[in-house]
Chains A and B, each alone.
With several copies, the nearest count.
Chain A
Amino acid sequence: MSDSIPLSLQVPEPEVRPGGKPDFSGVNIPRAGTVRRPDVDASPADFRDLGYTIIRVLNRDGEAVGPWAGALNDEQALQGLRDMMKVRAFDARMLMAQRQGKTSFYMQCLGEEAISCAFQHALSPGDMNFPTYRQQGLLVAGGYPLVDMMCQIFSNERDPLHGRQLPVMYSSKDHGFFSISGNLGTQYIQAVGWAMASAIKGDTRIAAGWIGDGSTAESDFHAALVFASTYKAPVVLNIVNNQWAISTFQGIARGGSGTFAARGHGFGIPSLRVDGNDYLAVYAVAQWAIERARRNLGPTVVEYVTYRVAAHSTSDDPSAYRPKEESDAWPLGDPIERLKNYLIGKGVWSDDRHAQFAAEVEAEVLAAQKDAEKHGTLHSGGKPSVRDMFEGVYKDMPPHLRRQRQQAGV
């Protein structure tokens, strides 16, 4: 031991920091269409390679290619485009509303729209998402009213959550959207529990857990994988790898090597990596994983490779920790642009119709906002009542809370 060399701590760092030139040459991206598609009931041990590659459908020329292509018809793909555009327009307006002081906080999903929008369409009514704060696309694609989302964001008198929750922490059982917590990772094991309940009851509903790359480090990620594998729970365990966790790059959560998807292998859970900016690929993989769950074949881990284009939240300024141009250099492109080009290539869409729809969607979002603002924004107009603060802690208000409400004079 005495002649051993001194040890040293190895702290991973991203390739570049502000001032540097973005460099994604280290990201290994296979050509679209080249990754095989196993049967859903194939043995997980036989396709571990799918946890180390990237399933892609849309190639550079905007064509859908390979064994994962063909899952959607044109109308469905068009719907996907519209969903994504609506999410983006919604984000832009709400960001502005926050800057105008109409709410305290907002979080965009810029660049990641394909993931939640496509996934939602692969689900069936009755299924349940356990989302993070960055899956607003699940609600938008699922037809949840924009105005209700906005009322929540504004904490106004029509806020479905009665002002209790931080903006964007939506909840809608009817739309298969579990109440967002704010504490990272907790929802992942809850999704597994919900799925187990469906199996216990002999129902046919499945669950989807959602987690960010950074949050895979949380312990409840492990709990979820353990429980899901042990009971073969009908759940899809989604990991959205958008490269960043606030200021921290994904290498801190991922460690030395391996992929987030590969974490499933240690549990015998089949694990796929997919191009998160490719709507068609996301849909195809989601459908595959959901079918496995539905057929009682157990859980699937899916890692979506994408990039968080915007700031983490309105409280964050990413120029402090990564080059401004990094998002432009991101090699998987923009999900809306890519699907648009595909549809134009297929002759079912055009630049004109795109511009027209963009204007329509802009108007729809604006109208919703006007509607929502009639009921107040955070600091002006209609507010949830103070009584509401005391309600809902328990089903029936216990004596001590009643006393406190009286003290508060409401």
Chain B
Amino acid sequence: MPRMTMIEAIRDAMHVTMAQDPNVVVFGEDVGYFGGVFRCTQGLQQKFGRSRCFDAPINESGIIGAAVGMAAYGLRPCVEIQFADYVYPGYDQIVSEAARLRYRSNGDFTAPLTIRMPTGGGIHGGQTHSQSPEALFTHVSGLKTVVPSNPYDAKGLLIASIEDDDPVIFLEPKRLYNGPFDGHHDRPVTPWAKHPLGDVPEGHYTVPLGKAVVRRPGKAVTVLAYGTMVHVAEAAAEETGIDAEVIDLRTLLPLDLDTITTSVTKTGRCVVVHEATLTSGFGAELCALVQEHCFYSLEKPIARVAGWDTPYPHAQEWDYFPGPKRIGEALINAMEG
């Protein structure tokens, strides 16, 4: 099987769907001739022509609004927002339009579009290249929200998203683009080539939306994570020696509640991890659901490890980022008493 980075896997997903379905179109800022600032769309214009893959003006509302119109026509646009931090100008078109079109028109019009965007920190990008806005999408009925944590899933989930008949927010943890990242920023970077999930099948396959996966089985405590934090949580489990079960949610909405409750019912302990700021983050929803569905199994309060409630800082990045140390402490604490 070919080895791919997450960038290559994402590119391959678009390649596969574009080759298969002439209705798939790709556009966004710098995605055409240049192939995207992270090179995720490299080669697509050359291969499929300028009317299937093209540069867009710098207007996120325009990119998403045009995609809504195209989707209503019958296309399946897969658009790129250069950084998740820049999605807000297009937020109205997502919330008021893409998410509600099927409902308000009773299916007369639909919006099968995918909005890709690099998310998360760890690259010294400061406040406008590091944010994790997933909770702003999970609150919006009508959207699906996906966060892959490795090349295999990234390709399979992206194909599933493009083929999905509803609008999908596809968040790409940019710190994982070139290799798994366990939060130890001071150690050399591992490439995907050395990771089993860097093995990516050629051609078409999907990873279904709405299905979580147990990344690391364990009996002592359940860790709910997604994106970069899956790897950091795995590292924390190794380093503390705690027999944690690490669940990679993959899709935040629809959420795979069964996999979660099965695990927490077993372990009786739960730690929720994300990079986004704590308050009203997606971790809050996870806590609410876990305490509702596993109340009588819980032996300790569910703990959250998350970005602090501040804008994402530049110099203090590694104090902000929920690294293996903070997660490890939460695991140890979850095991006490």
Contact = CB atoms under 8 A, between A and B. Distances in A.
B315 A252 contact: no
Contacts of B67: 193
B184 to A, nearest CB: 15
B315 A164 contact: yes
Nearest to A233: B66
A165 B130 CA distance: 12
A194 B72 contact: yes
Contact of A400 (B34, B127, B279): B279
A399 B254 contact: yes
Give the bracket for the number of chain B residues in contact with chain A.
35 or more
Contacts of B144: 394
A92 B165 CA distance: 40
Interface string A357-394: 00000000000000000000010000110101110111
A179 B104 contact: yes
A380 to B, nearest CB: 12
Contact of B54 (A11, A162, A171): A11
A376 to B, nearest CB: 9
B226 to A, nearest CB: 17
B129 interface: yes
Contacts of B314: 104, 155, 163-167
B34 A320 contact: yes
Contacts of B129: 166, 182
Contact of B316 (A179, A214, A388): A388
Contacts of A179: 101, 104-105, 108-109
A164 B103 contact: yes
A223 B89 CA distance: 11
A404 B58 contact: no
Interface string B61-105: 110011111101111000000000110110011001100111111
Interface string B21-64: 01001000110111001000000000000111011111101100
A395 B165 contact: yes
Contact of A171 (B22, B56, B109, B141): B109
Nearest to A173: B108
B262 interface: no
Nearest to A318: B34
Contacts of A316: 37
A192 B66 contact: yes
A181 B96 contact: yes
Given A182-B126, A408-B319, A394 B66 contact: no
Interface in B233-276: 253-255, 257
B51 A8 contact: yes
A9 interface: yes
Contact of B69 (A17, A193, A253): A193
29 contacts: A13-B33, A105-B124, A164-B106, A164-B126, A164-B316, A173-B108, A179-B101, A179-B104, A182-B126, A186-B65, A189-B61, A189-B62, A189-B66, A192-B65, A193-B68, A197-B75, A215-B58, A218-B89, A224-B62, A227-B56, A227-B57, A246-B29, A247-B37, A384-B315, A389-B316, A394-B144, A394-B166, A395-B110, A400-B279
Interface of A: 8-9, 11, 13, 17, 104-105, 128, 130, 155, 159-167, 169, 171-173, 178-179, 181-186, 189-201, 207, 214-215, 217-220, 222-224, 226-227, 230, 245-248, 252-253, 315-316, 320-321, 378, 383-384, 386, 388-390, 392-395, 398-401, 404, 408, 410
